[in-house]
Amino acid sequence: MAQNTARPPYLVRLTFSALLMLVLAKVLPGVSIDPWWQALLAALLISVLNATVRPLLILFTLPITLFSFGLFLFIINALVISLAARWISGFQIESFGYALLFSLAISLVNSLVFQKKREDFQN
């Protein structure tokens, strides 16, 4: 019997990520996003980069990723965030450390929220 793996619609996840980015920009002193629609643009760009560039980075850094037991993926996530910040004028990150913290916070909150939502969609 096929298992139901329903996910929230893409626009819901994208909007939530943009709102989360705005909140994190207020919490983390090294991150700023202004105006609000730049957060939506950044969330969209990050999702595109995660679908295109991130798999290539993972492939090229596979030995380091395996050697670090997958911890190097956090560095790759921060690189993707930093790349998006370079391309979007209203989205600034002061240092790689803030990019890493920003990336970790987004990943953690998204996984917690959408794991719960995934359970709600399955029922």
The pLDDT tens digits for 61-74 are 999 999 999 899 99
What is the phi/psi pair of residue 32, to 5°? Answer: -140, 140
Residue 18 lies in a domain: yes
pTM: 0.82
Lowest mean pLDDT among 10-14, 57-61, 112-116: 112-116
Residues near 25 by beta carbon (within 8 Å), at least 6 away in sequence: 31, 32, 33, 39
Residue 123 lies in a domain: no
List pLDDT tens digits, range 3-26: 555 667 889 889 999 999 999 999
What is the phi/psi pair of residue 25, to 5°? Answer: -65, -30
What's the domain count of the chain? 1
Domain that includes residue 42, residue range:
10-111
Residue 52 lies in a domain: yes
Residue 2 lies in a domain: no
Residue 3 lies in a domain: no
